[in-house]
Amino acid sequence: MPVLDPLENRVAMRDCSGSVGRTSAGFKVLGVDPGSHVTGYGVVEMTGRGVRWVTHGEIRPSRGALLSICLQTIYDALREVISLSGPDAMVIEDIFYGKNVKSLIRQGHVRGGAILAGRHCGIPVYEYSPAEIKKAAVGYGRAEKGQVQTMIRAILKLPELPPPDAADALAAAICHLHFRKADPI
């Protein structure tokens, strides 16, 4: 059962409370690139010496699974990432409007599950458009996925290119480190 603190308007679930009140010196951000087939995630930390990679990966629900199973898989996996990495904030990519309606609806469902995972773990959730994220990471708001992967590898000094959706998630986290919107969604 959630614990509600009316003074802070924070909801924290007991099983991901390890992320609340942690003692890291830097500011950690979890970026999420939502998708019903592949949801990318990435955590970075701003320290006194710059941006540091923490973790990244992709959540892949079973092919052909019911939407409700896909959402549960993504929700559970993100709560585990939050519990293990202890971010101070979560950033999610806003919906890209050029897709077909059915894809937009599915992506909206995934976004809702991801946002709920962040809030249930007591962290504020922010959103940025794909163009804002690409501009922050690459310097160009219409950059291709390959360009984002290459730049994220360089910025974070990774030994290899991160998977495309994880690279987008890491870019979202870096975007928030640069802009730090004041109001969560």
Express as a percent the part of the chain with pLDDT over 90: 71
Q: Per-residue pLDDT averaged across 58-87, rounded?
A: 97
The confidence score (pLDDT) of residue 103 equals 85
- How close are the terminal C-alpha atoms of the chain, in Å? 23
The CA distance from 12 to 185, in Å, is 17
Round the average pLDDT of the chain to a whole number and report it.
87
The C-alpha torsion from 84 through 121 and 178 to 139, rounded to 10°, is 80
> In sequence order, what E strands does 38-134 have?
39-47, 50-59, 89-93, 125-128
Look at 15 and 39; give whichever has higher pLDDT.
39
The DSSP annotation for 135-180 comes to HHHHS-TT--HHHHHHHHHHHHT-SSPPPHHHHHHHHHHHHHHHH-
For residues 35 and 143, the answer to whether their CB atoms sit within 8 Å is no
Q: Is 94 a catalytic residue?
A: no
Q: Per-residue pLDDT averaged across 123-128, rounded?
A: 97
The residues, ordered by sequence, that sit 6+ positions from 117 with a Cβ below 8 Å of its Cβ are: 74, 75, 78, 79, 82
- The catalytic position among 88, 93, 132, 168 is 93
Architecture of domain 26-179: 2-Layer Sandwich (3.30)
Indicate the DSSP class of residue 121: B
Res. 4 pLDDT band, cuts 50 70 90: very low
Taking the domains of the chain in order of start, what are their residue ranges? 26-179
- The catalytic position among 58, 127, 132, 165 is 165
Res. 104 pLDDT band, cuts 50 70 90: confident
Res. 134 pLDDT band, cuts 50 70 90: very high
Q: Residue 179 is encoded by which pair of tokens? A: 């802009």
- SS3 call for 4: strand
Q: Is 33 a catalytic residue?
A: yes
Q: Is 80 a catalytic residue?
A: no
* pLDDT for 21 beyond 50: no
